[in-house]
Amino acid sequence: MDYTKVLRRVDEVRLELPQDYKDGMRVPGMIYADERLMKYIAEDPSVEQVANVAFLPGIVGHSLAMPDVHWGYGFPIGGVAATDIDEGGVVSPGGVGFDINCGMRLLRSDLTEADVRPLLKDLISTLFRDIHTGTGAGNRLKLEVREVNQVLSQGAEWAVERGLGDPDDLEVTEEGGRIAGAELDAVGERPGARGRSQLGTLGSGNHFLEVQVVDQVFDSNAASVMGVETGQVVVMIHTGSRGLGHQVCTDSLKVIESASKTYGIDLPDRQLASVPVESPEGRRYLGAMRAAANFAWANRQCIAHWARLSFESVFSRSWSDMDMRQVYDVSHNMAKIEEHVVDGRKRRLCVHRKGATRSFPAGHPDVPERYREIGQPVLIPGDMGRYSFLAVGAQGAMEESFGSTCHGAGRAESRTRAKKMLEGRDIRAELEADGIIAMAQGWASLAEEAPMAYKDVEDVVRVADEAGLSRRVARLKPLGVIKG
């Protein structure tokens, strides 16, 4: 279907999907896109998913799609929806996704590209050796059941207390690296079993660790506050809760699909299965989701620690001497209970961010004190051949997207199609010709994530900036990457 015939352009970066597009929509849809991004949206079934999300009981405002939107499970990836808890609002696992608290972490350093370039191949091979990538189990941590439970409860704190990181890391991690309300009983045995050998592992798919250089600064004040400047080498980490989170989502969906019928919830897509937030099933899902989120924060914490040690090994300096401080760790794929002003009054909402990230502005009490004058840092990865972005939250996000913005570039081609289109090409050699060293478990891992498989993240970030959802601070270009 050509969705350009039903979408109404509000301004240069907003498209509205009218509430009367489908009988049963409780709110209109809103898609953030300019004409350059429209070519990806015009016939994408994610637009249909935006409409379906608008059926959720208790939904307020709009069913939102960030500029990196593409088709996903239930919700589109890049979908945001908030439901009013006190008016029958629901929670939907499809609005969180299988990789619970997939997120981004950024470390800065005092190294420059001139320092790193001569040792780049050695650095990337050391990182690839020290940090487990790909599917399956890692080999550095083997947890007992009681230790898995501690991780589910304590999050990144568990790792820091065991010397896997620095206490300052927690100060610049969303929720301090540990969200309250985790329920271990709600997780069950199967997810915990999968998590025993996966803590500190990147996984596969679009997860990565990338060594980057800051090549452009747009906001010198915000960059200075975050300790970022042109020419500096940084490390970006992208991963989540691994098999543990996937199992939590799988197990929860079975319960919620059945329970939704009990509550009389009728939705156009079974993948949107939902229950009231304050139902026993809703509370249990949120408890399990929070536990998985804590695992994800601990996972990124361990990886960051081992990345620092890899740098120490290659450069023969301590990570503190290289000033490899954490800039921030931000989450996507979460449902959070937050207060937002809707229609002139403060309301208690369940905010689903599926492939979207929090974007709180300057002055917000949930922004770490050191960043309160500039807003919450936002990490927006691109692809391994072009660039990623560092941004900060903006007031416009609080006014229209429940404090949310984009979380990445968004796919332009499916993994299957990308591999077919790139068959016979040496992706590793092509990247190296551009000065980028890539190491992965196999050709398919690189082909699935090749630059042509993604939108240009610069277009995505520009739209988010012009819409007032977030503000660009710096552009980061890849030097080397490890993947599953």
How far apart are the C-alpha atoms of 447 and 383, rounded to whole Å? 12
Q: Please, are residues 418 and 450 in contact by the beta-carbon 8 Å criterion?
A: yes
**378: Cβ contacts below 8 Å, ≥ 6 apart:** 330, 357, 358, 359, 390, 391, 392, 393, 405, 470
Tell me, yes or no, if 132 is annotated catalytic: no
- CA distances from residue 1 to 36, 293, 483 in whole angstroms, order as listed: 19, 37, 35
Q: Please, are residues 214 and 476 in contact by the beta-carbon 8 Å criterion?
A: yes
User: Could you say which of 207, 305, 352, 407 is catalytic?
Assistant: 407
How far apart are the C-alpha atoms of 227 and 54, rounded to whole Å? 41
Nearest Cα residue to 67 out of 306, 329, 412, 334 = 412
Nearest Cα residue to 136 out of 243, 234, 274, 266 = 243
Q: Please, are residues 390 and 228 in contact by the beta-carbon 8 Å criterion?
A: yes
Q: Please, are residues 272 and 91 in contact by the beta-carbon 8 Å criterion?
A: no
- CA distances from residue 402 to 114, 399, 412 in whole angstroms, order as listed: 42, 7, 26
Burial class (CB in 10 A: 0-12, 13-18, 19+), 227: middle
Cα torsion angle, 131, 134, 140, 141, sign = positive
Alpha carbon 7 to its chain centroid, in Å, reads 27
How far apart are the C-alpha atoms of 157 and 171, rounded to whole Å? 11
- CA distances from residue 467 to 66, 280, 431 in whole angstroms, order as listed: 10, 38, 33
Cross-strand pairs, 392:
377, 471
Type and span of the H or E element at 16: strand 14-17
How far apart are the C-alpha atoms of 61 and 343, rounded to whole Å? 8
Nearest Cα residue to 75 out of 281, 279, 285, 274 = 274
Active-site positions read 407
